[in-house]
Amino acid sequence: MSDDPEYYRPEAPFNALPPMVIAIALVLGGIEVVLQLGQLGVIGGQQAVGWRIAAIEDFGFFDSIFEAMRAQGSWPFEHVMRFFTYAFVHYSILHALMVIVFILALGKMVGETFGNFAVLLIFVVATLAGSLAYGLVLTTNVQLIGAYPAAYGFIGAYTFILWLGLGRMQQNQLRAFTLIGLLMALQLLYGLLGWGSGDWVSRLAGFVAGFGTAALLVPGAFGRILMRLRQR
């Protein structure tokens, strides 16, 4: 039956994803699984129930710590790493799953367009941009955790791909920003309803970082963007 030219063998879904996208998703998902199993008492004994809280305290990004480092001019590694490590700890399995879905869906196109190194680069740059913006713009006691800034970085890179494609087809390039516009509108709505938090700042920064990084990966693209902006 396999020799029949009309025989269709479905492609495994993970085989279609760039390896780096799969790797990031597995790391994020693996950490969440361990925390969930510990929280449920399946592994680690009684101490494991507090693993998530301990992880948030040890790896989350805190504005108070950031401001203290700035004021003292001291940047110990155990706290500098928080600019990146916050992305690997989430509040719940739902929090982690939403992030992973974004990364799998949008990272696929980014990886296919720019390659595996670009996927890792955008993840790192957007994560850093998210924590920096959170610390510089906000004054808050609420910690920043979760890979949403990185996920928004992939949204930014995806938006750039659409923006470039629409430009080549001589269509309205503002349509490329529909997704981020919708997401920011939802953030505004959540804020008005009292459900939101200041993490929208980190997400928007991640988006800008992803868009900018993608632009730098395409030779001459950044110059064309500046030219378009000057024409407007």
Range 95-113 average pLDDT: 93
Q: What residues does 61 pair with on adjacent strands?
A: 144
Rounded Cα distance between 102 and 83, Å, is 21
Q: Does residue 2 lie within any of the structural domains?
A: no
Domain count, the chain: 1
* pLDDT recorded at residue 226: 61
pLDDT in tens, 109-155: 999 999 999 999 999 999 999 999 999 999 999 999 999 999 999 99
Residue 1 lies in a domain: no
Residue 178: domain span:
13-231
Burial class (CB in 10 A: 0-12, 13-18, 19+), 34: middle
pLDDT tens-place string over residues 159-216 = 999 998 887 888 888 888 988 889 888 877 766 665 567 789 999 999 999 999 999 9
Residue 172 belongs to domain with CATH number? 1.20.1540
Residue 83's CB is within 10 A of a number of other CB atoms, namely: 19
Asked if residues 159 and 211 have their Cβ atoms less than 8 Å apart, the reply is yes
**Average pLDDT of the residues of the chain:** 87
Amino acid 213: pLDDT? 95
**Domain assignment of residue 6, yes or no:** no
Look up the pTM and report it.
Answer: 0.86
For residue 212, give the amino acid letter: G
For 14-44, write each residue's pLDDT tens digit. 558 899 999 999 999 999 999 999 998 899 8
Specify if 4 maps to a domain: no
Are the C-beta atoms of residues 104 and 123 closer than 8 Å to each other?
Answer: no
